[in-house]
């Protein structure tokens, strides 16, 4: 987790619900928006409105995976790969 960019929030699903993970985020000054697992004895508070917006991100990544060039990473050069992602995101946004 040392190479994470500076962010305020981390949105994650129940799979990321672990005390050690929450502590690591807290140490970095990142607020976690992760619902607690159903087996948890104590409930965890999270921003439900912000968590609902996570769906938009999931949909965008799903659409990016439809682009074969991005999904299989034909481009080995990071700059070319990033430009392919940018082009795919632009086309998806305008359609």
Q: Residue 23 has what pLDDT?
A: 93
User: Residue 50: CB partners within 8 Å, gap ≥ 6?
Assistant: 9, 11, 33
**Tens digits of residue pLDDT in 7-57:** 888 888 888 899 999 999 999 899 999 998 888 888 888 888 888 888 888
**Tens digits of residue pLDDT in 68-85:** 777 677 767 788 888 888
What residue ranges do the domains of the chain occupy? 1-52, 54-95
CB-based burial of residue 90 (10 Å sphere; 0-12 exposed, 13-18 middle, 19+ buried)? exposed
Q: Residue 54 has what pLDDT?
A: 86
């Amino acid at each position: 987790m040392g190479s994470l960019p500076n962010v305020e929030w981390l949105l994650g699903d129940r799979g990321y619900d672990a005390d050690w993970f929450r502590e690591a985020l807290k140490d970095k000054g990142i607020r976690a928006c992760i619902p607690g697992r159903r087996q948890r004895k104590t409930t965890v508070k999270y921003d439900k409105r912000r968590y609902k917006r996570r769906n938009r991100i999931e949909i965008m990544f799903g659409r990016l995976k439809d682009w074969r060039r991005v999904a299989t990473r034909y481009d080995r050069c990071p700059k070319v790969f990033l430009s392919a992602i940018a082009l795919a995101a632009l086309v998806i946004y305008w359609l």
